[in-house]
Amino acid sequence: MTTKKEQLQKIWRLYEKTHEHLPTSARDAVEWGVKQGLVALPEIDPMDTLADQMSRALRGEYRTDDKGRRYRINHAVRVSRSGVQQTFWAIMGFASREYMEKAFIQRREQVVGDCLQLKTDVDVYNDLNENAEPIQMILNFTEDVEERQFSRGEKVLTTA
């Protein structure tokens, strides 16, 4: 039995193939899949929808401190309990140091995972296009972060 993710991936491949491999939106592919009878519209739990909307709202809430730095107020920690993954939210300034450290470590792990996948994707693309100039991807962000801090007028502590 295929998972929902696998079903949607299959629909994407079918849509993409029948539309000559042109870039398109996921919404267009889903609409096509529904019209083709390949997938049914889901029954939506309104509480799940609201909880998802709240998580997005919390993730997008920022403040500016006395030094003019814009920062995220709300921070998430993912926890598994009895095999069920849950996300807990806390407000910076009220959350314990232990909680905030977990939140920051989990966010850093997401960034590292994204960088690893980006490097793999670039490497595979370059291998598939051996006759073209390879795409170079720098994954050291120290200078980028320092430049953005400087452009915001923040004090920059160089690491070099």
Residue range of the domain that includes 28: 1-42
Query: pLDDT of the chain along its 160 residues, tens only?
Result: 889 999 999 999 999 999 988 888 999 999 999 999 999 999 999 999 999 999 999 999 999 999 888 999 999 999 998 889 999 999 999 999 999 999 999 999 999 999 999 999 999 999 999 999 999 999 999 899 899 888 887 777 665 5
Angle at 73 between CA 70 and CA 74, to 5 degrees: 145
User: Is the same domain home to 127 and 89?
Assistant: yes
Amino acid 152: pLDDT = 81
User: Is the same domain home to 15 and 64?
Assistant: no
Amino acid 47: pLDDT = 95
Q: Strand 62-64 vs strand 70-72: parallel, antiparallel, or unpaired?
A: antiparallel
User: Is the same domain home to 56 and 29?
Assistant: no
User: Is the same domain home to 34 and 61?
Assistant: no
User: Is the same domain home to 34 and 77?
Assistant: no
Amino acid 78: pLDDT = 95
- HSE-up of 9 (CA within 13 Å, CB side)? 5
Helix boundaries (H) for the chain: 4-18, 26-35, 46-59, 97-128, 142-151
Domain count, the chain: 2
Residue 149 counted as domain residue: no
User: Is the same domain home to 100 and 122?
Assistant: yes
The Cα-based distances of 121 to 26, 78, 137 in angstroms read 20, 27, 10
Amino acid 22: pLDDT = 84
Pair of tokens at residue 104: 């920051």
pTM reported for the whole predicted model: 0.75
Residue 37 counted as domain residue: yes
User: Is the same domain home to 86 and 26?
Assistant: no
User: Is the same domain home to 115 and 55?
Assistant: yes
User: Is the same domain home to 5 and 61?
Assistant: no
